[in-house]
Amino acid sequence: MVSPIYTRDQAKARARSIRAELQSENIHVNHSTALERVAKEQGYDNWNTLSACLSIQPEVPVQVGDRVAGAYLKQPFVGTIYAVRSCNKGRTFKVSIEFDEPVDVVQFESFTNLRKRINAEISQGRTSYAKTGDGVPHLVIAKVMADSS
């Protein structure tokens, strides 16, 4: 079964995948031919028809209500996405996450600073641009968990 495609970016990525698959079999096709194949896979007569039906919005790495796990300031967390806002024409996203359990963001034994909700700007890859002094991203959303309800 063919996975549904919702955005032009997804369709173009699938076309690149088709070209690579065919290239491995010594079959050379140009990008427009691969896009036509994507359209056929999705049940459309041609790329122009499929393209008109697809969203031009970028794929959003997380959605409001998603259950997520990862690391914040090197501390593991599990939480829920409470807000997502697209920035920079979909190249970055501002997210708010509420942790199930507060995360201690201080690495010193003499005191603590617990955080229950954070805001961060992340990439499509679900990693923050802000980094700690040793180069580790402040936020890494390593896993989007299936809703158990």
Averaged over 31-55, what is the pLDDT?
90
- Residue 42, CA distances (Å) to 55, 77, 83, 85 in order: 14, 38, 32, 29
Two tokens at 99?
A: 């942790």
- Name the region of 118 (left: φ>0; alpha: ψ -120 to 50; beta: rest): beta
List pLDDT tens digits, range 134-147: 999 999 998 777 65
Two tokens at 91?
A: 């190249």
In angstroms, the CA 42 to CA 54 distance is 11
Tell me what pLDDT residue 148 has: 53
In angstroms, the CA 93 to CA 90 distance is 7
Q: Which helix (H) or strand (E) holds 118?
A: strand 114-123
- In this structure, of 16-30, 64-78, 79-93, 116-130, the range with the lowest mean pLDDT score is 79-93
Strand partners, 86: 93
**What is the pLDDT confidence band of residue 97, given thresholds at 50, 70 and 90?**
very high
Burial status of residue 87 (CB atoms within 10 A of its CB: 0-12, 13-18, 19 or more): exposed
Two tokens at 119?
A: 């805001």
